[in-house]
Structure 1
């Protein structure tokens, strides 16, 4: 696209700029800021005076029979994107004046709360936000104020966590990201468990984010039951990594739901203790398992790979043998649908956003601080979720055939 030519300044604008430079003796960028701040204050005062004239219905020094009259000015400190400054707000005798340009009790015209929440969403700590605000706008925002502003999100988060869901999800993905949280001066590791659903239109949807500590079948059963309480009646396939107790919980909460273990996680766990020189060949052998045409052929290859590497890396293939029923679910489907369910990579774009939080903040001050940051980050990540999964039409047709009647 051709680059737009910059429009020439009109003569009027050129005269204004020249007057500004002369009036304020502008030499630096800071001088420009100060000039704009002064001009903003003067402009606001002029607008307030005009509003007062309109409110009273007569000009200053004009004779009138009105009982109400001007009653001096009151100094008010204002925060703006150009910094903090004071203005004189006109007062009337019976205090009935309700200014519109700057409302009563309004002290901030820079939309500071929105900016603080935006910075919080990007993972900045309360201290970092305070420093940023002071650097940019020239006034200090306390850590407590930042916390108070972001705490306003907590009821909104509660509502979001309990909102109604669709009755059927063809596929859901469950994954976890770990964070450090301070609790009574002790730092402990907590996991943010994220559940993303693929709805019947093929669109990704974050169903819930749970901050938890101990994985167990009891814990996962409570999470899945909470989805049921919000209206989910059926899930065709749950994709996850090796979360402790998830398989047992699925069988209780959704008995007809199939579990697919994330192949990428299985491969990573298999290669964890393999030397660098062998990793490439070992990974190639593992790939031949999950790229096999049928489950029978895949199982046969799995046994051969185990025999090949077991002497050098004992028990490295145990994860495949012990979880074969959850690994082999993909072999029921066509290659196109296998790509949708064989890995939790669908959740990776969200996870990468969450990992940025870890880079920005090594330790979160509380569980609620972590939850607020995660909640805000989801909206950063999901802005791009505007299209269904690639090839979803074909995949949906296959699922409808395989699970006849359950997608109606």
Structure 2
């Protein structure tokens, strides 16, 4: 069988190319090497060289498709070999992160199941070639799914997580010839090394007390100890589930959500000062300071000719005032990070960016795979970073 007569270590090769001044000749050499490597890969997969008759042959050649391969030094345009069945997959691109693999797989699976848009089909063709098959989907799942399962079901007994952040976002999934709305539950914790971790995720039905309770019980079954504080939005079912599953844990109502709840009920005009005061209340570093800012807001509203239009805003503030100030019970350096779910919102933005392309997932498993891969990639990045999440961590949590 024909083999590539070059011994390659792709990590060393990539590093060498990265550190080089990539002129046209060097790029051309790199393209030649990569294309030759993939050609040899296809020969090995087929168990037959070009024009060779062999009883061991498992498939036949089916031309090439163009694909850009981006390195830090620039873009290489490669000719990727393909086979008639579509089962061949080069290992050259295995270096890209698992979330990209899951993203491509979600789109491919959508195409195979006939639920994609023309836009998604075009993306799949550019990334994977013109032909995709159920066997291709299966082979990628075999590589990716066990890794995500291991991450999702890992024991949590190895650490203490004094602070927990939870949130849910909605997506569309095909289910029994219907398109239904599903919720993605996410739990993010802060460990004793002051770094964030993704503790759990789950795609299930709409938010409810029972579904949130079930999610929390799964975390406890994996070894999660009772946190000091849980930060979330004010969904009624979620709040009751926190109280039920973590009795004695403080609940911090996300101040970003709460401020929007209050200011959305204010008049659109001539309310700038009032809106600023609402924001300042929840940037306070002491309970007394928050009370003083609240009194200042109430005094300002009382002087307004249209004070009746602020009634509902003040009622909302009164109802959630204490819950939104629980962060003040923790050390001051922690407070800016504990009072909101903003760190989870940034994750949600990345999830939404991918979800908008797929649009409707072919099944629940495909959605869970993509989101799980994104979350695991972020989890791994956080562990590698030297920078910590909270500014300082008290010795009592070490």
- Both structures adopt the same fold (TM-score exceeding 0.5): yes
Pick from 275, 299, 305: which aligns with 1:283?
275
Q: Normalising by the residue count of structure 1, what TM-score does the alignment of the two structures yield?
A: 0.68
- The structural deviation recorded for 1:113 is 9.4
Per-residue CA deviation, residues 226-280 of structure 1 (Å, 9 max, x unaligned), is 2111112221111111122333323332223111111111011222244443464
Give yes or no for contact 1:171–1:198 (8 Å, CA) kept in 2. Answer: yes
Give the structure 2 partner of residue 346 of structure 1: 343
Q: Normalising by the residue count of structure 2, what TM-score does the alignment of the two structures yield?
A: 0.70
Give the structure 2 partner of residue 404 of structure 1: none
Give the structure 2 partner of residue 120 of structure 1: 102
Aligned to 1:193, the other structure's residue is in SS state strand
Aligned to 1:331, the other structure's residue is in SS state helix
Pick from 35, 45, 60: which aligns with 1:77?
60
Does residue 336 of the first structure (1) align with residue 333 of the second (2)? Answer: yes
- The residue correspondences of 1:52-91 to structure 2 (distance < 5 A) are 73-74=54-55, 76-78=59-61, 82-84=80-82
Aligned to 1:320, the other structure's residue is in SS state helix
Per-residue CA deviation, residues 301-346 of structure 1 (Å, 9 max, x unaligned), is 3254256445223312333322233212122234321112011112
Per-residue CA deviation, residues 274-309 of structure 1 (Å, 9 max, x unaligned), is 444346433311122123343134234325425644
Pick from 328, 352, 373: which aligns with 1:376?
373
Does residue 111 of the first structure (1) align with residue 91 of the second (2)? Answer: yes
CA RMSD of aligned residues (A): 4.2
Pick from 345, 354, 359: which aligns with 1:357?
354
- The residue correspondences of 1:246-257 to structure 2 (distance < 5 A) are 246-257=238-249
Highest RCO, 1 vs 2 (Cα 8 Å, sep ≥ 6): 2
Give yes or no for contact 1:190–1:213 (8 Å, CA) kept in 2. Answer: yes
Q: Separation in 2 of the partners of 1:217 and 1:8?
A: 61
Count of aligned pairs between the two proteins? 338
Q: Separation in 2 of the partners of 1:8 and 1:154?
A: 40
**Segment of structure 1 superposing worse, 263-272 or 320-329:** 320-329
Q: Separation in 1 of the partners of 2:232 and 2:104?
A: 27
Give the structure 2 partner of residue 238 of structure 1: 230
- The residue correspondences of 1:3-402 to structure 2 (distance < 5 A) are 4-6=20-22, 40=39, 73-74=54-55, 76-78=59-61, 82-84=80-82, 108=88, 110-111=90-91, 118-121=100-103, 125-126=107-108, 127=111, 131-132=122-123, 134-135=125-126, 139-142=130-133, 144-145=134-135, 147-149=137-139, 151-152=141-142, 153-154=144-145, 156-166=147-157, 167-278=159-270, 280-306=272-298, 308-309=300-301, 311-385=308-382, 386-387=384-385, 390=388, 392=390, 394-397=392-395, 400=396
Aligned to 2:154, the other structure's residue is in SS state coil
Give yes or no for contact 1:217–1:245 (8 Å, CA) kept in 2. Answer: yes
Q: Separation in 1 of the partners of 2:296 and 2:177?
A: 52
* Unmatched segments (≥5 aa) in structure 1: 17-28, 51-70, 87-104, 401-406
* Unmatched segments (≥5 aa) in structure 2: 1-18, 65-78, 112-118, 302-306
